[in-house]
């Protein structure tokens, strides 16, 4: 005993912190409470940035997007059962979107949980997390902390990235062991996301298909943005001379104003292309599963670049699958193209560009109105100019009309500058993403939010003020979901299910926490307020008053609402 007390000792708390630091993890997003309160305090003391949120879901969305922006797992830290469950939605979202994230939750004592004896916040968290993430691990012994974290990091970032759950029972934190043995037990993960080199035959097959194309198209998805192979992707597009269509979060990977950008000619290129090369984009609902009306009658051949072999043929036949990491695949394509590659057929490129110019010209006059109350286009027109003048700013965007119209109107100029609702179309990512974007990049953030969308994470404006982050939130306040004009058809006193208190002043919420609040009723006022916020870097919330009748049901995806076979009367 005497000999033991003379030894240098360490404990679970410190081993977790040391393991995180050894692996260069510098930020934790979470909510404190039993059993992780002291852990958060100690992590902060040891130099990790620990950001405390008001709800775990928002901390989780912050961690998920931190993973997307940095290619390192974003860390979310929660308490047991209810905190864990709050974080779990974000973990599932990270997995669905292929973002690397680790949800670390404290948990109750195994012995009591397994006998279901009613412990404080009792829940078999590991079992519940498993089907909703890429991998789930529990560490029971302090000596296994190093290995446990290493497994979690590798699982999150290697192959197709995703969410990982790490279960840390309360008892683990206080476990003591010899400090030297503890140090030795830590693992620095080497080459956490190893390159996955595509087979030369797959590269050749893809180029043969592309060479035969008369109307080729490249679709860039958020996997391509995540890969951070920006220069090579740009070189591939320019060398091949193929028009590209960016998915929402891939906007800016090449500038939206690039001569080959087909973003403003979306329906034309989907219908008419004969060869489509997908780079880090899945043929899911956002691309109508690669078939049906939006893809037109003409036969198509698909080339797909993805790290996940099982993604191939998920919806339609992929004639040229290229499996590997996007960086390696794109550089192999470039090398194999050599110097003699002839650029995409010029009549096709010309056709796409003409269509694009037509659509851009059609939209232009709508963006210049100074109506009050504002319509979406008038308000978005000024935000579009602000992003043009400040291309380093990060745009966060959620809502229905607010999302869909901002996607079309606001051009992006640099990679990974547009963050949004992702694969699930989640409302609630807004404030978490805005916070993480500011923290991880140091750039100013403009969050363009539907009033409903904002409500899902609105309390985090206090977090934004507390950490004094350069975030400007603009709420498109149209008094409700899609529109603020619905009436209760029963004739009763309750408001309709999609409307909110008319004329709410969200700007006053910001003032309550010491931030700047502005009520803007015209595009001119909006412009002045956003520019002031971006110049000052002060936490700001602008309540942008939008015509309640301006929106449409579900924005651009109204067709997904089920219709009764019985015709409406
Ligand atoms: O080529 P064509 O002619 O087709 O034209 C296209 C482009 O070529 C052209 N375009 C341009 N023209 C000119 N210039 C430029 N620069 C330009 N760029 C493009 O424009 C058109 C359209 O282009 P786009 O957008 O690229 O193409 P399209 O056809 O729309 O693409 C299809 C999709 C599917 C890829 C695209 O629409 C897309 O990405 N959609 C994502 C939609 C989405 O995810 N929506 C969010 C969910 S909606 C709903 O579920 C909501 N809820 C329920 C709920 C949710 N989601 N989550 C949770 C946790 N709980 C509940 C709720 C509660 S939305 C919502 C709240 C809504 O209310 P708010 O108050 O927040 O918002 P408001 O509506 O504002 O009130
Ligand atoms: P979008 O919604 O923008 O169309 P998706 O989320 O559907 O994009 O698709 C992203 C794809 O990118 C996923 O299939 C994922 O496996 C893939 N991916 C992610 N990172 C990489 C990478 N580094 N290399 C190759 N593929 C990747
Ligand atoms: Mg609204």
| In the predicted structure, residue 425 carries a pLDDT above the cut 60 | yes
Q: Which residues line ligand 1 (CB under 6 A)?
A: 248, 263-268, 286, 359-360, 363, 399-404, 407-408, 421, 425-428, 450-453, 476, 478, 481-482, 551, 554-557
Q: What is the 308 CA–ligand 2 centroid distance (Å)? A: 8
50 versus 342: the higher-pLDDT residue is 50
> Strand 176-178 relative to strand 9-11: parallel, antiparallel, unpaired?
antiparallel
Q: For helices 12-22 and 37-45, give the axis angle rounded to 10 degrees.
A: 50
- 288-293 CB contacts, 8 Å cutoff, 24+ apart: 289/315, 289/316, 290/315, 290/316, 291/315, 291/316
| In the predicted structure, residue 2 carries a pLDDT above the cut 90 | no
Ligand closest to the CA atom of residue 194:
2
Q: Is 221 in the pocket of ligand 2 (CB under 6 A)?
A: yes
Ligand closest to the CA atom of residue 269:
1
Atom number, ligand 1, closest to the C-alpha of residue 478: 76
In the chain, the N- to C-terminal Cα span, in Å, equals 85
Residue (of 102, 199, 189, 185) closest to 144 by Cα position: 185
Is 285 within 8 Å of 247 (Cβ atoms)? no
Q: Is 95 in the pocket of ligand 2 (CB under 6 A)?
A: no
Strands in 210-332 per DSSP E:
216-220, 244-246, 275-279, 301-306, 320-323
How far from 449 is each of 383, 396, 399, 497, 515, CA to CA, in Å? 12, 8, 6, 20, 17
ipTM of the complex: 0.99
Q: What is the 404 CA–ligand 1 centroid distance (Å)? A: 3
Is 78 within 8 Å of 103 (Cβ atoms)? yes
| In the predicted structure, residue 567 carries a pLDDT above the cut 80 | no
Which pLDDT does position 553 carry in this prediction?
96
Residue (of 412, 413, 227, 189) closest to 307 by Cα position: 227
Which pLDDT does position 7 carry in this prediction?
83
pLDDT digits (tens, 9 = 90+) for 483-503: 999 999 999 999 999 999 999
Q: What angle do CA 431, 433, 435 make, to 5 degrees?
A: 70
| In the predicted structure, residue 1 carries a pLDDT above the cut 80 | no
Strands in 112-180 per DSSP E:
135-138, 163-169, 176-178
Which pLDDT does position 274 carry in this prediction?
98
pLDDT digits (tens, 9 = 90+) for 239-288: 999 999 999 999 999 999 999 999 999 999 999 999 999 999 999 999 99
DSSP-derived secondary structure letter, 278 = E
Q: What is the 318 CA–ligand 2 centroid distance (Å)? A: 16
The whole-angstrom separation of Cα 419 and Cα 403 is 11
Nearest residue CA, atom 6 of ligand 1? 266
Q: What is the 370 CA–ligand 3 centroid distance (Å)? A: 20
Residue (of 98, 45, 52, 110) closest to 78 by Cα position: 52
Name the residue of 481, 485, 486, 551 to mutate for ligand 1: max ligand atoms within 8 A of Cβ: 481
For residue 357, give every residue at least 6 positions away whose Cβ sits within 8 Å of its Cβ, in sequence order, or none: none
| In the predicted structure, residue 392 carries a pLDDT above the cut 70 | yes
Ligand closest to the CA atom of residue 478:
3
The whole-angstrom separation of Cα 548 and Cα 479 is 6
pLDDT digits (tens, 9 = 90+) for 92-128: 999 999 999 999 999 999 999 999 999 999 999 999 9
Residue (of 30, 22, 357, 304) closest to 182 by Cα position: 22
**φ/ψ (deg, to 5) at 2:** -60, -45
The whole-angstrom separation of Cα 406 and Cα 401 is 8
Which pLDDT does position 464 carry in this prediction?
99
Atom number, ligand 2, closest to the C-alpha of residue 324: 25
- 310-316 CB contacts, 8 Å cutoff, 24+ apart: 311/160, 311/282, 314/282, 314/283, 315/283, 315/284, 315/289, 315/290, 315/291, 316/283, 316/289, 316/290, 316/291
Is 263 within 8 Å of 289 (Cβ atoms)? no
Q: What is the 478 CA–ligand 3 centroid distance (Å)? A: 5
Task: Please state, as a whole number, how many other Cβ atoms lie within 10 Å of the Cβ of residue 171.
Answer: 17
How far, rounded to the nearest angstrom, does the alpha carbon of residue 81 sit from its chain's CA centroid? 25
| SS3 label, residue 323 | strand
The whole-angstrom separation of Cα 422 and Cα 92 is 12
**φ/ψ (deg, to 5) at 28:** -125, 135
For residue 164, give every residue at least 6 positions away whose Cβ sits within 8 Å of its Cβ, in sequence order, or none: 73, 100, 101, 102, 103, 133, 134, 135, 136, 137, 152, 155, 156
Atom number, ligand 1, closest to the C-alpha of residue 484: 76
Which pLDDT does position 343 carry in this prediction?
85
Name the residue of 264, 294, 395 to mutate for ligand 1: max ligand atoms within 8 A of Cβ: 264
Name the residue of 93, 156, 198, 223 to mutate for ligand 2: max ligand atoms within 8 A of Cβ: 223
Backbone conformation region of residue 24, classed left if phi is above 0, alpha if psi is from -120 to 50, else beta: left
The whole-angstrom separation of Cα 103 and Cα 88 is 8
Return the structure tokens found at 539: 């936490």
Longest dimension (CA), the chain: 87
Is 414 within 8 Å of 392 (Cβ atoms)? yes
Nearest residue CA, atom 18 of ligand 2? 223
Cβ burial of 47 (10 Å; 0-12, 13-18, 19+) is: exposed
| In the predicted structure, residue 4 carries a pLDDT above the cut 60 | no
Q: What is the 528 CA–ligand 2 centroid distance (Å)? A: 38
Nearest residue CA, atom 19 of ligand 2? 223
| Concatenated DSSP letters of 370-399 | --SSBPHHHHHHHHHHHHHH-TTSEEEEES
The whole-angstrom separation of Cα 471 and Cα 86 is 24
Q: What is the 555 CA–ligand 1 centroid distance (Å)? A: 5
Residue (of 383, 384, 366, 362) closest to 375 by Cα position: 366
Name the residue of 163, 206, 307 to mutate for ligand 2: max ligand atoms within 8 A of Cβ: 307
Q: What share of the chain is helix, strand, coil (3-state, %, to 5)?
A: 45, 15, 35
Which residues share a beta bridge with 321? 304
């Amino acid at each position: 005993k005497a000999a033991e007390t003379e030894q240098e000792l360490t404990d679970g708390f410190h081993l977790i912190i040391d393991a995180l630091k050894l692996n260069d993890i510098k930020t934790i997003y979470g909510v404190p409470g039993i059993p992780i309160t002291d852990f958060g305090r100690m992590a902060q003391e040891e130099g990790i940035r620990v950001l405390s949120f008001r709800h775990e879901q928002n901390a989780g969305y912050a961690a998920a997007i931190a993973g997307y922006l940095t290619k390192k797992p974003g860390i979310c830290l929660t308490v047991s059962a209810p905190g864990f469950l709050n974080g779990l939605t974000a973990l599932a979202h990270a997995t669905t979107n292929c973002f690397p994230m680790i949800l670390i939750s404290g948990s109750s004592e195994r012995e009591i949980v397994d006998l279901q004896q009613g412990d404080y916040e009792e829940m078999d968290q590991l079992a519940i997390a498993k089907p909703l993430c890429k991998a789930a691990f529990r560490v029971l012994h302090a000596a296994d902390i190093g290995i446990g974290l290493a497994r979690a990091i590798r699982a999150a970032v290697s192959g197709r990235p995703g969410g990982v759950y790490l279960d840390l029972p309360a008892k683990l934190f206080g476990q003591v062991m010899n400090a030297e043995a503890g140090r030795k037990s830590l693992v620095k993960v080497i080459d956490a996301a190893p390159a996955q080199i595509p087979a030369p035959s797959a590269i050749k097959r893809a180029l043969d298909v592309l060479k035969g194309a008369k109307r080729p198209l490249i679709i860039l998805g958020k996997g391509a943005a995540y890969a951070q192979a920006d220069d090579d992707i740009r070189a591939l597009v320019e060398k091949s001379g193929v028009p590209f269509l960016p998915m929402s979060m891939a906007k800016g990977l090449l500038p939206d104003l690039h001569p080959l950008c087909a973003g403003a000619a979306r329906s034309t290129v989907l219908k008419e292309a004969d060869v489509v090369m997908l780079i880090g984009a899945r043929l899911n609902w956002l691309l109508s599963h690669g078939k049906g009306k939006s893809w037109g009658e003409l036969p198509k051949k698909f080339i797909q670049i993805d790290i996940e072999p099982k993604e191939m043929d998920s919806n339609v036949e992929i004639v040229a699958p290229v499996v590997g990491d996007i960086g390696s695949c794109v550089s192999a394509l470039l090398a194999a193209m050599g110097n003699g590659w002839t650029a995409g057929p010029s009549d096709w490129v010309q056709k796409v560009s003409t269509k694009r110019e037509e659509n851009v010209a059609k939209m232009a006059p709508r963006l210049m109105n100074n109506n009050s109350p504002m319509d979406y286009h008038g308000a978005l027109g000024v935000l579009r100019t602000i992003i043009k003048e400040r291309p380093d700013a990060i745009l966060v965007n959620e809502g229905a009309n607010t999302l869909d119209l901002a996607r079309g109107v606001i051009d992006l100029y640099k990679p990974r500058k547009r963050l949004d609702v992702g694969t699930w179309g989640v409302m609630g990512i807004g404030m978490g993403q805005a916070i993480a974007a500011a923290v991880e990049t140091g750039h100013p953030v403009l969050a363009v939010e539907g009033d409903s969308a904002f409500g899902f994470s609105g309390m985090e404006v206090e977090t934004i003020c507390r950490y004094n982050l350069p975030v400007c939130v603009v709420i498109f306040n149209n008094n409700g979901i899609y529109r603020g004009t619905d009436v209760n058809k029963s004739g009763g006193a309750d408001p309709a299910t999609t409307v909110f208190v008319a004329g709410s002043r969200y700007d006053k919420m910001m003032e309550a926490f010491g931030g700047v609040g502005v009520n803007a009723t015209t595009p001119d006022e909006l412009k002045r307020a956003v520019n002031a916020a971006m110049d000052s870097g002060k936490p700001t919330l602008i309540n942008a008053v939008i015509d309640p009748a301006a929106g449409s049901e579900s924005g651009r995806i109204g067709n997904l609402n089920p219709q009764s076979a019985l015709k409406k009367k």
